[in-house]
Every structure is written in C-alpha cells, then in structure tokens.
Amino acid sequence: MVDITHKYTTLRTAVAQAVVKVSKQETIEAINNDTVPKGNVFAMSKAAGLLGVKRTPDILPDCHPLPIEFTGVEYEINDLEISVIFTVKTIYKTGVEVEAMHGASIVALNMYDMLKPIDKGIEIHAIKLLNKKGGKSDFNDKFRKDLSAAVVVCSDTISAGHKEDKAGKAIIAKLESCGVKISEYVIIPDEKVVIQQKAKSYQERGIDMVIYTGGTGLSGRDVTPEALIPILDRRIPGIEEAIRSYGQERTPFSMLSRSVAGTIEDTLVLALPGSTNGAKESMDAIFPGVLHSFRILKGARHD
C-alpha cells in the first residue's frame, strides 16, 4: 500500500453513484409496493452496502483499512432507472472514493440479486465517483502562488564545517514541492544576535517566511526560541501545537522540542527542530496548510 504515514488527518467525504435499470414498470411498482418476494429491496440493499463498504480493504488489496464514520444511501427513481447515491465520510489521512464506489456497487448488486426472480432484463450502469472533498487538492486554491522563503540552519557544528546539513535541505525540498521560492539558504552558529539579525533582515526585504532549523532543544547552546520570541509581534500557538502533536505520534521525544511560530509584521517565522526527521516531520505537519496564513495576513476572510 502507498505510504500515508506522513499525511495529516482531515475530514474526507466521497459521493458515488450506481444506476440499476429494470426492464419493465411492474418491477418499479413491486419495489414501491414492497411486494418483491425476497423482501424490501431498498432496506436490504442499503444494509448490504453498509456491510460491504466496511470490507473494502478485504477485497481491494491497495485500500487502507480506515474508520468509516458515516455512510449514507439514497435512491432516486427516474422512469425505469434507479440511481443509488452512496456517501462515505471519514476523518483520516486518505480519501474514501473507492469505498464509496464499492458501497454503491454492492447496493446495486444486491438489488440485482433481489429483483432477478421477477425481472430478467436488469442492468447495472454508471458506477462512478460524483464528488469528493477533504484532500490536498481542495486546499490548493487557498494558497498564494508567489511566496518566498529563507531557510536558516542554526548549528555551531554545521557552521564550523564538522557536519553536513540535511535538515535545512529537507525543509527546502518540502517548500519547493509546495511551490515556494527559496530566496536564501544560510548556515549560522547558535548565536542569539545573529539569529535575530537574520529574521529582521529577511522581514525588511519582504521575504514571506523565515524558517529556522536547529537550536530548539534543551542544551545550553539551544537558543533559537530565546532569540526569536522577543522580536515576534504575535505568536501562533496552533502551529506550534500541530508540530508537537504530529511529532509526538511518531516519537516520544517530540515533547522536548521547543518549536516556535509567529509573525514579524507580515513575515511568518518558524523555528523547527534541527534533526533531519524532526525538521521533515514538522514541515509535513503544517505544510501546505500553513500557507493559508498569507491570505489571512492580507485580509482575506476564512471560509
């Protein structure tokens, strides 16, 4: 199965359709009058769909087991066609399009099985996805496409040339995947004055975000939070909470990190862990969603 461990959880919804076409009006009348020999077609087919959608990963090998938190089945009769509208919702890291299509197809197959004794000409048509929401593509239009960033690596060891930077490069890779232009990438020692000067300089140059990696731990030389917090206009606790919550689900040591998020005027400033995994996971936790902040900073309304 596709690796989704780096994704974060959102409300996912998918609506699928299947069309059952009968061959005579008497079949529709039997359904409406509840005179089909095998029982109530709509109720039993709905029950089959509810059972079937939960078994999707048992049938389709690439589908992830996930919590099905809502399933809705509706029927629309138009002449000799019965449309099955199947809705699935979950709060999870991947979508439920296949689950919705599978559920709709199970409902249609059960209808076929129940109706075949009284109608030999039944057909199943148009099993398809009608719409989905909650995935990455739903948020893309909420982000500005002209954003720039500076990446600052805070490390005495790396700045002295004793160690290669990987965390900063992981941050750059994530930014580039989100369409953010890298204006500058620099490595500096763990010095409060230098850290502050960089943030102020980038803000004055109009760079949209400054992302630090390193210096957020508990050692005596970890001073990035102490340097940045006094010069921030506003903290953004939600970003800090999201980073730690995401990380804590992956390692018990994330609670020891002192990540910081805030703004200097309209520039977003982030201080992330210095380990490669810590930086990468922190970026996965908040990007691309954090980019919506730039529309809000410019006065756009929340949806």
Residues marked active site are found at 113
CB neighbours of residue 273 within 10 Å: 28
Residues 6+ apart with CB under 8 A from 177: none
Residues 6+ apart with CB under 8 A from 191: 223
Token output for 87: 């809705």
How far lies 255's CA from each of 127, 242, 244, 268, in Å?
Answer: 47, 12, 6, 23
Task: Quote the DSSP letter at residue 302.
Answer: P
Could you give phi then psi for residue 80, rounded to 5 degrees? -100, 10
The rounded radius of gyration (Å) of the Cα atoms in the chain is 27
